[in-house]
Amino acid sequence: MSSLLNSAAVKRTFAACFALPFVVLAGNAAADGDGVWKGGENVYAKVCGHCHENKVGPVIKGRQLPPAYITAVVRNGFRAMPAFPASFIDDNSLQQVAEYISKASAPAAKP
Ligand code: HEC
């Protein structure tokens, strides 16, 4: 009995069971290598679109706004718009969403 519990195979199995969840969590946190966002369109759909396609904020697609202007507004806020810090949208994802918005065509008009 005790020889079974002390066997190397049992110890390895325990070690694997405890270590695995941490490896999986670490892998998720590093999705895409640069944060939780999956590119510019993803950030726009999950964050900006809630206000900017629902008449809370002005339409920003289809206006060829310069990416540098968009990133400045997002980091600093602009009158009624709240600022979003790097802890919320990392620099890389912010750059991607700014380029996406700058090049995107205007959203279809809503009824
Ligand atoms: C909580 C609602 C809200 C969210 C979320 C939001 N915005 Fe805004 N945004 C606003 C409002 C309201 C204004 C208009 C501010 C004013 O003029 O008082 C604005 C203005 C702007 C402007 C200036 C538009 C112009 O006509 O010059 C830009 C650029 C902008 N937002 C980009 C973004 C981006 C990019 C995101 C996503 C990362 C985003 N916003 C998310 C509410 C929001």
Flag whether pLDDT at 5 surpasses 70: no
Distance, CA of 70 to CA of 1 (rounded, Å): 67
86, part of any domain: yes
Residues 59 and 85 in one domain: yes
Nearby residues of 52 by Cβ (< 8 Å), 6 or more positions away: 58, 59, 60, 61
Cβ atoms 37, 89 nearer than 8 A: yes
Active site amino acids: 80-81
CATH number at residue 72: 1.10.760.10
- Please tell me whether the overall predicted TM-score, pTM, comes out greater than 0.85 for this model: no
Residue 99 lies inside a defined structural domain of this protein: yes
Q: Which range of residues forms the domain containing residue 22?
A: 2-32
47 CA → ligand 1 middle, Å: 10
State whether 25 and 46 are in the same domain: no
Do the domain assignments include residue 110? no
Q: Are residues 54 and 24 in the same domain?
A: no
Kindly state whether residue 76 falls inside one of the protein's structural domains: yes
56 lines ligand 1 (CB under 6 A): yes
- Give which of 97, 106, 99, 92 is closest to 41, Cα–Cα: 97
Residues 50 and 95 in one domain: yes
Residue range 68-104, pLDDT digits in tens = 999 999 999 999 999 999 999 999 999 999 999 999 9
Q: How far apart are CA 97 and CA 42, in angstroms?
A: 8
